[in-house]
């Protein structure tokens, strides 16, 4: 009886380890590790020809970059919502744009557990609007 219980325990442990590793490897919800902001004329941000969403992968980390050209006075703020398949970024103006200049605002998100991500969606809300609108979507293609 004792040998039968040990055998059963060994089989159960083996199944848990094999099944558990694949479950935890591929079914993790993406996790935000760090968020960085590069505002108007801060750092070495180059003015771009158009608004941009791009990503890069380095080791086990995904970096999502959102660059948006807005009025120098607009002061955009951000929030991010992660689910199993989507990274949703919400940007909004916090001040009325009154200056006579434009510049790039850059938001960078450092993410772990990104293997299940399918899309990056960026929503934007102008200062005088009450709802967010989809601004850009980028499909994630893992190698």
Q: Which residues of 66-87 are buried (b: 16+ CB within 10 A; e: fewer)?
A: bbbebbbbbbbebebebeeebb
pLDDT at 24: 43
19 lies in some domain: no
7 lies in some domain: no
114 lies in some domain: yes
Which residue's entry shows tokens 């009450």? 130
Q: Which residues of 88-104 are buried (b: 16+ CB within 10 A; e: fewer)?
A: bbbbbbeeebeeeeebb
Q: pLDDT (tens digit, 0 to 9) for every residue of the chain, 143 residues total?
A: 555 555 555 565 555 555 444 444 455 778 899 998 887 755 555 555 568 888 898 888 899 999 888 888 777 889 999 988 899 999 988 887 777 888 888 899 999 988 888 899 999 988 888 889 988 888 887 65
* Enclosing domain of residue 57: 28-139
11 lies in some domain: no
In the chain, how many domains are there?
1
pTM: 0.71
pLDDT at 1: 55
């Amino acid at each position: 009886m004792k040998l039968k219980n040990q055998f059963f325990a060994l089989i159960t442990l083996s199944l848990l380890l094999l099944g558990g590793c694949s479950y935890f490897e591929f079914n993790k919800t993406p996790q935000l590790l760090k968020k960085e902001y590069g505002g108007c004329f801060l750092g070495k941000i180059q003015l771009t020809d158009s608004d941009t969403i791009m990503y890069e992968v380095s080791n086990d980390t995904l970096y999502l970059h959102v660059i948006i050209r807005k009025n120098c006075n607009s002061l955009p703020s951000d929030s991010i919502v992660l689910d199993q398949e989507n990274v949703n970024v919400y940007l909004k103006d916090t001040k009325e744009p009154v200056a006579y200049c434009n510049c790039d605002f850059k938001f960078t998100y450092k993410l772990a557990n990104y293997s299940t991500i399918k899309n990056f969606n960026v929503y934007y809300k102008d200062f005088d609007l009450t709802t967010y609108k989809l601004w850009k979507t980028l499909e994630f293609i893992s190698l």
